[in-house]
Amino acid sequence: MPVALNSLTEEEKVAGWELLFDGSTFNGWKQYNQDTIGPLWSVKEGVIICDGTGLGEQTGSLTTIRQFGNFELTAEWKITPGGNSGILYHVVEQPEYKHDYETGPEYQVMDDGGWKGDKLTEAQKAGSNYDMFAAPATKKLMPVGEWNTARIIYNNGHVEHWLNGEKTVEFEEGSADYTERYKKSKWVDYPGWNTFKSGAISLQDHGAPVYYRNIKIRAL
């Protein structure tokens, strides 16, 4: 029997899973660096929608009010042609940070083949840890307009990204490999990036329509 959208099975409840999105409201969410949620974001037919008019004065990612440290998260997403978004974690709001990506590492959500901006590096494509660890070219990415399933695990510096049931990224924070990649990344210019080990989950507004549903998390 199919599981209803934005709901938990009894097995998931026993395992400690919680819904981050109830399917009909923004309870538990806010816009980054704001007290309310502006017109960029809406809920329709059990889906969180970013309308894609961001990157201007009204820009603002959608973040959880609750903070999470070690966790496992799953979410379904779909993108529009040429679209770009992301799922960030350990996001912190402080006056010196204007955007969620200044603190939070990102699971990349992207239309790899339809992006019209600067040429993407492999670590800027879907399923990657943005600008750090690239998802393999053999990953199973659904066509634009179809749902993908993301899974993120963070456990005391051990990080995994999964896309549609396949692992795309795995690394240890602080390892020699991690440190070398960091030195070559854009994040060296952001002193707050990945310095917090507890923070909000954030859905990125990157000026493109994007859709999220079935967002679930459990503490580890």
What CATH number corresponds to the domain at position 32?
A: 2.60.120.560
List Cα–Cα distances, 32 to 25, 65, 159, 180, 204, in angstroms.
17, 10, 24, 30, 10
- For 184-203, write each residue's pLDDT tens digit: 999 999 999 999 999 999 99
In a domain, 202, yes or no: yes
Residue 57 pLDDT exceeds 60: no
What is the reported pLDDT for 115?
Answer: 87
User: pTM value?
Assistant: 0.95
- 207 or 135, higher pLDDT: 135
What's the confidence (pLDDT) of residue 60? 85
pLDDT of residue 54: 59
> Does 3 reside within a domain?
no
Within a domain: 191: yes
Question: Which pLDDT score, from 0 to 100, does residue 118 have?
Answer: 84
Q: How confident is the model at residue 59 (pLDDT cuts 50, 70, 90)?
A: low
Strands of the chain (E only): list them.
Answer: 18-19, 29-31, 41-44, 47-51, 62-64, 71-79, 84-91, 106-110, 148-155, 158-163, 166-172, 200-203, 209-219
What number is the average pLDDT over the span 207-220?
95
Percent of the chain with pLDDT over 90: 85
- Residue 5 contacts residue 214 (beta carbons within 8 Å): yes
pLDDT band for position 55 (50/70/90)?
low
Instruction: Report the domain count for the chain.
Output: 1
- Residue 93 domain-assigned? yes
Domain range for 141 is 10-219
Residue 166: inside a domain: yes
- Judged by average pLDDT, the poorest of 1-10, 19-28, 60-69, 133-142 is 1-10
Q: Is residue 179 part of a domain?
A: yes
Distance from C-alpha of 124 to C-alpha of 119, rounded to nearest angstrom: 9
2 found inside a domain? no
Q: What value does the mean pLDDT take over residues 55-75? A: 86
Per-residue pLDDT at 26: 97
Is 1 within a domain?
A: no
- Asked whether the predicted pLDDT for residue 68 surpasses 70, the reply is yes
